[in-house]
Amino acid sequence: MEAYTKHTSIAALMDRSNVDTDQIIPKNFMKKVERTGFGINLFHNWRYLADNITPNPEFELNKPAFKGAKILVAGENFGCGSSREHAPWAIADYGFNTIISTSFADIFFSNCFKNSILPIVVSKEELAALMAEIAGNEGVEFTVDLAEQKVTTPGGIVINFEVDPFRKQSLLEGLDDIGWTLTHEDKIAAFEEKQKQTLPWLWK
């Protein structure tokens, strides 16, 4: 998993609430178990016209000003719906590593941390201020500092956010659940060796 570092990036605006996982990645594209290759179908039903090829000029993320954005600023209850982990896979594969909203669906929120995505919860007032700054200057870049737990903008907005210490450390070090387990590989090996000596029949 890629480590999350302090970065300055274009912030894309998606002023929509209750964006569910079927909108993030429609079920008909969930045909692989690998984490890569889903970005092209992110928000597919909104992103393309009826021919499924031509970009929809009315869809906000198709705006040239938002090209290359790593930060997504969205409405409340982002990631609701089914628990599919393909949703954060698609978001990460597209290029986003940060989502800012007032609230997230619980399972989606948890899955973000396992895929190098930082979900930041802000107040309604803070979200409104961020959205207003983007709307008034599309292509504006925000700075996200995970170590300091802070979002800053050219317009002078400074937001301090909360994050679980373990999840924060996992992102900073680029470790998912398996990665953290492997940091204890020596202890695991010692335990297995002890088990072989005391309970040899389990290893036959």
- Please state, in angstroms and rounded to a whole number, the distance separating the CA atoms of residues 65 and 50: 24
For the stretch 120-166, pLDDT in tens is 999 999 999 999 999 999 999 999 999 999 999 999 999 999 999 99
Tens digits of per-residue pLDDT, 56-110?
A: 999 999 999 999 999 999 999 999 988 788 999 999 999 999 999 999 999 999 9
Q: How wide is the angle at C-alpha 200 spanned by C-alphas 195 and 204, nearest 5°? A: 120
Average pLDDT of the chain? 90
For residue range 14-25, list pLDDT tens digits in order: 999 999 999 999
152 has which bridge partners? Answer: 143, 158
pLDDT score at 182:
57
